A and B are shown apart, each in its own frame.
Chain A
Amino acid sequence: MRFYRAHVLVCAGTNCSLKGSQAVRQRLLNELEEVGLADEVKVVETGCFGLCEQGPTVVVYPEGVLYCRVTPDDVPELVREHLLKGRRLERLLYREEAEKAVQTVPQVDFFRGQQRIVLRNCGVIDPESIEEYIAHGGYEALGKALTEMKPAEVVAELKASGLRGRGGAGFPTGLKWEFAAKTEGDVKYIVCNADEGEPGTFKDRLILEGDPHAVLEGMAIAGYAVGARKGYIYIRGEYALSIERLEEAIKQARKMNFLGDGIFGTGFAFDVEVRVGAGAYVCGEETALFESLEGRRGEPRLKPPYPTERGLFGKPTVINNVETLANVAPIILNGAKWYRGFGTEGSPGTKVFTLTGDIVNEGLIEVPMGITLREVVFGIGGGIPGGRAFKMAQTGGTSGGCLPAELLDVPMDYDELAKAGSALGSGALLIMDDTHCIVDIARVFARFFEHESCGKCVPCREGTMRIHDIMTRIATGRAGEKDLDNLEALARTMTTACLCPLGQAAPVPIMTTLKYFREEYDAHIKEKRCPTGTCRALAAPAATLAAGKGA
């Protein structure tokens, strides 16, 4: 067994890869070879650290020093200074707003505020190495479940933990497993919903890229708990690297018999197959996903029957989100009581949030449920770039509500955000500063739903089109008061009468913007003016119509 004196972890998540982390890694390998350190220093590609804005990120252990914005040209200096001479390379250290150079990972506020359960291995292990996964406690939970627990006990543990579905709906996972376990049937399925399409959400991508085995282990435990022998991972077609990592991980898991027959020497058999989507947001809805898997158009089914009764191929099915599944092994290993130590009463545990938009630390974080929006945006998130003013935060992706500054102190869990008129959803957070136009962004929301509506039910197929029509008219100064009345009528109908959550959610973000930013709508409709100057069609009239008001 080889012992290295230092490990250099290079983030190879998609975001850093796009910024060139592969080249950094290659240069590291070359440089280490050149200075004769190849046998003493190991370079590890890891999954996402979460500091996407500051990528490519590199962490050197054992010190845990965090370097940001590393380019291949920085590598020779980095190797000589840090690895040969033991000196920190000041200029590449992570810098916080106050220009104070912070050195090690635990010192960084961004990481200090986090509680990485789901992301426990992301940024720590090489996702393509099952050995590293195992060394980090991987597959122990599966072993424990299979050899020390009965299926009903596994279900009970999940129930007790209070884990709720992390895809967006927040349905109690243990309860779902219990329904499926109780349904009679020889053939049952575990489906992992990796069709992450909610705009602003990329956590599942990075979890799968950074720690694919965590998901496999979660699925196997679920299979044991409910009596399923086969799992499918339905993953969107655009996630090429995730697919690759998953396929590789499955091969490795089979080789070491964590999948297949007689796992851990018991009678339990479980295997997983990856199926790839083809570009349809609606396939993230569970029954639409089943339709797609079955080779049909992704049009949602009527419920009842529910998936745990009749799901994929007509069999009892547990369908869980990637993040949900990544929580399973830690819960089994550490117990429900441990898990409940994090988060809130109604939403135990942690949540992975993806921060996008006008925020300093764009990227991925995992924090306990119940943290306030303010803490995320101005604490871990680093605040608004350029010192601009916070205007709005959309939580839960494009189908979530928009919250104004007055609501910054809302604690973020399923129930509190729902009470505030929004939704926790996928954990996507889109932050907007005061340079953006609310009407414009609402129009973008409307455009998204019109494009993604499957077309099956009337209120969604026609309603998303009409809402887009209305928002376009407002944004181009061609709307009247009646348009707002019609918007409200459409919203009321769609939220109650649409066949599936896509249509039911579609009007919500727009209606929250109308509620909290009515003045901007009024400006566009009554004065034909765009206060931020964003809406191009209104740019010219702004000066003339808004005489004295300023653009």
Chain B
Amino acid sequence: MAREHEGAVDLGRVDEIVARHKGREGALLPVLREVQDAVGYLPQEALERVALGLGLSLSQVYGVATFYSLLYTKPKGKYTVRVCESAPCHVQGAQEVVDTLVRELGISFGETTPDGLFTLEKVSCLGVCGVAPAVMIGDRVYGNLTPETVVAVLQEYR
């Protein structure tokens, strides 16, 4: 997943993504996901470019970008750690995993560690309840977590 330096958005890349999806009905969501993958998040310049390219108002584009939990309009850390806080994970000890993560990373939910490595987020059910409690980092899911194992998982990324 290519990452851009904040403040220097490769608009050519955005244009290319928009061009590929142009003409497709309901293209906005797929375009936003791809642009986010390319840029790392959805900065203003990118959203303006998407709006221009798809012929949509900035209001609609921003309204969509801020509605969905997996779309981010603010820069994130290198790895986004998503902890499931739904009932099945809760029943299997998610609270301890949550507490451990907050302690280990020294940040609250929604925040990013000072070194820019981890962003911590709470999410709703990830659909891996068979291995609750679970955490998702990037595209990878980690299950059956305990305070010890979740620390070990973080180490993999450090």
Contacts and interface: CB of A to CB of B under 8 A. Distances in A.
A298 B67 contact: yes
A177 to B, nearest CB: 23
Contacts of B56: 295
B26 A441 contact: no
A448 B86 contact: yes
A430 B64 contact: no
Contacts of B25: 294, 313
A313 B24 CA distance: 12
Interface string B118-132: 000001111111111
A390 interface: no
Contact of A354 (B26, B60, B126, B130): B130
B146 interface: no
A295 B26 contact: yes
Nearest to A536: B95
A356 B88 contact: yes
Contacts of A362: 129-130, 132
Contact of A296 (B64, B88, B129): B64
A15 B128 contact: yes
A15 B130 contact: yes
A18 B144 contact: yes
Interface residues of B, number: 40
Contacts of B70: 237-238, 277-279
B66 to A, nearest CB: 9
Interface stretch (B1-9, B10-18, B28-36): B28-36
A52 interface: yes
Given A295-B29, A357-B88, A278 B69 contact: yes
A432 B30 CA distance: 39
Contact of A18 (B60, B90, B92, B128): B128
A320 to B, nearest CB: 19
A133 B27 CA distance: 32
A202 B87 contact: no
A116 B19 CA distance: 45
Contacts of A204: 127
Contacts of A444: 85-87, 90
A430 B88 contact: yes
A14 interface: yes
A281 interface: yes
Interface in B113-145: 123-132, 136, 139, 141-144
Interface stretch (A134-142, A191-199, A486-494, A498-506): A191-199
Nearest to A14: B128
A251 interface: no
Contacts, number: 147
A363 B71 CA distance: 30
A364 B130 CA distance: 8
Given A15-B143, A275-B30, A278-B33, A445 B87 contact: yes
A275 B63 contact: no
A452 interface: yes
A199 B124 contact: yes
A398 B84 CA distance: 14
Interface in A178-223: 196-202, 204-205
Given A18-B141, A448-B86, A238 B27 contact: no
A444 B94 CA distance: 11
Contacts of B139: 240
Contacts of B130: 14-15, 52-53, 202, 354, 356, 362-364
A276 B144 contact: no
B157 interface: no
Interface residues of A, number: 56
A236 interface: yes
Contacts of A432: 91
A446 to B, nearest CB: 11
Contacts of B28: 295-296
A385 to B, nearest CB: 11
A278 B91 contact: no
A202 B132 CA distance: 12
Interface string A286-309: 000000111111100000000000
Contacts of A279: 68-71, 123
A19 interface: yes
A82 interface: no
A132 B29 CA distance: 34
Interface string A419-440: 0000000001010100010000
A280 B68 contact: yes
Nearest to A203: B127
Contacts of A53: 130
B125 A14 contact: no
B124 A296 contact: no
A452 B129 CA distance: 18
A276 B105 CA distance: 31
A18 B29 contact: no
Nearest to B142: A18
A251 to B, nearest CB: 18
B33 A276 contact: yes
B64 A196 contact: no
Contacts of B90: 441, 444
Interface in A457-499: none
A14 B69 contact: no
Contact of A293 (B26, B69, B144): B26
B126 A238 contact: yes
A447 B30 contact: no
Contacts of B128: 14-15, 18, 202, 205
B143 A18 contact: yes
A293 B123 CA distance: 22
A295 B64 contact: yes
14 contacts: A202-B128, A276-B30, A278-B33, A278-B68, A278-B70, A279-B68, A297-B67, A356-B88, A398-B86, A430-B91, A441-B91, A444-B85, A445-B87, A448-B124
Given A237-B70, A292-B29, A430-B88, 4 more contacts: A277-B68, A280-B67, A428-B129, A452-B124
Interface of B: 25-30, 32-33, 56, 60, 63-64, 67-71, 85-88, 90-92, 123-132, 136, 139, 141-144
